Amino acid sequence: MHRSKPEPREFERLENVVIQDTNFVTTFTPSYAWQKNVSTIASSDGIRTFHLTSNRLAYNSHNAGAMPVTQFTAQCDDLTVYGASPAQLRAALPEGFRHGHLQICRNRNCEYIDVHQAYLHVPEHLPNEPVLLYGTDGMSPGVSETIRIKLLDPPSPVDHLWAMSFSHAVCSQVVPKWPGTHPIPDGRYSTHVTQFDRLTYEPSYSFGAHTPWTRKDLYSSAPATPFWFSGKFRGMPSWSTTVQGHEIQIRVPSPALFLESRYANMLCCLDGRCHYPDIEQWLLNGTDTNSDVVLVHYKDLNPFKDHRVSMTAVRRDDEVGEKIIAVSRVVYEQVVVTGRNWPIHYPDGGIRALTLVALAIMGCFTLVLIIKARRQPPKRDPLGRQPLPQSILPSAAPVASPVDTLITYPGYFAPPPYGACTTPSGNRTNHRPHPPMTGAATPPPY
């Protein structure tokens, strides 16, 4: 089922997230059936890596019966999946190959991909560009879906080589944005730094000798291995901080400083929205330097709001080798507006949230007042008189004035008020008014 493409509103923007074959969310099973390729041929976007499999790799004499599968998770409005470029495939399989028959599934919705037709219609002047294999705009942006791609070709009796490749996927998301523009009128921009020794670490240094974090002159680092807290909770090393600015950079030490280990995959979060930066691509495209380098760069943020930034090491069970997590500093640019009050804009969702919060506070305050009123003791009469119990008053009787209120005594049944007495004919009897009684008075006989 297809729907119209998402149109960002005033406080939203369309963001394209590239999920490459080296990203942490992408898996390839069985591992022996897949080859990771770093080609010398790059696309116009600089993409050089892809994963390749074939029926020959999957069903050789040593390993037989496992169907090659790649999968990843994504939360998108639109999704497109690409295979390796024709030039990259010809360089990786010079002996020749045929495009395999593929099945792609989004959760339980599966389709078959005509890969041969997809590569047949590639323009001749674009041999280095990844090829579009699949696209859909029918995804639910609020649901995280698992996408699985399978090679369906079994072993060939005539030794035909059926190949399948995965280059990357593009996930289009509608995300909130700050509605202002830069530079802000009357705004003064200044760059600030939170050094590594000002960050909050988990496990913290109060953990004692068991903390995995170590501090150097210019950075902090920790092995990317799970730690146990009080013998019950298992976690991975992480750090966090809160800053205010419209641009935030997370800087880490250069990989050249770690000769015997390499960076682990990391989960980076900004105000609760998380993603996995592609460490493999970052290392591949990085430059050798002895200074710190930018790992993550957030832009177009609300400059007047506090932003919480965090990073946590992640690791698969099948990963081998020593991995680390490290950080040197967080650099952010602040804006101070002078000369006038800068209006704070709230998206539609923010206005609704503020309204709900205000209503909730008013409801709680009203409930507290009602409970407090019910718990207050009844007011005492200044003359020391007590009200007549409600259980012995007629349900339809009018409220008596203080002059006609009777004092109750043990064993004495009080008559109804004088004004409530009627004759059998229904006419009221005219009684002579009595003076008010005190506590020492004797009830008159009836």
Q: pLDDT tens, 372-396?
A: 777 666 555 555 555 555 544 455 5
196 has pLDDT over 90 = yes
The alpha carbon dihedral of 233, 237, 243, 245 has a sign of negative
49 has pLDDT over 50 = yes
Q: What is the β-pairing status of strands 131-136 and 78-83?
A: antiparallel
Confidence of residue 253 (pLDDT cuts 50, 70, 90): very high
Look at residue 155 in the predicted model and tell me its pLDDT.
80
Confidence of residue 6 (pLDDT cuts 50, 70, 90): low
318 has pLDDT over 70 = yes
Q: pLDDT tens, 167-193?
A: 999 999 888 778 777 888 888 999 999
Q: What is the pTM of this model?
A: 0.72
Reduce the secondary structure of the chain to three states and give it as a string. CCCCCCCCCCCEEEEEEEEECCCCCCEEECHHHCEEEECCCCCCCCCCEEEEEEHHHHCCCCCCCCCCEEEEEECCCEEEEEECCHHHHHHHCCCCCEECCEEEEECCEEEEECHHHHHHCCCCCCCCCCEEEEEECCCCCCCCEEEEEEECCCCCCCCCCEEEEECEEEEEEEEECCCCCCCCCCEEEEEEEEEHHHCEEECCHHHHHHCCCEECCCCEEEECCCEEECCCEEECCEEEEEEECCEEEEEECCHHHCCCCEECEEEEEECCEEECCCHHHHHHHCCCCCCCEEEEEECCCCCCCEEEEEEEEECCCCCCCCEEEEECEEEEEEEEECCCCCCCCCCHHHHHHHHHHHHHHHHHHHHHHHHHHHHCCCCCCCCCCCCCCHHHCCCCCCCCCHHHCCCCCCCCCCCCCHHHCECCCCCECCCCCCCCCCCCCCCCCC
Mean pLDDT of 390-415: 45
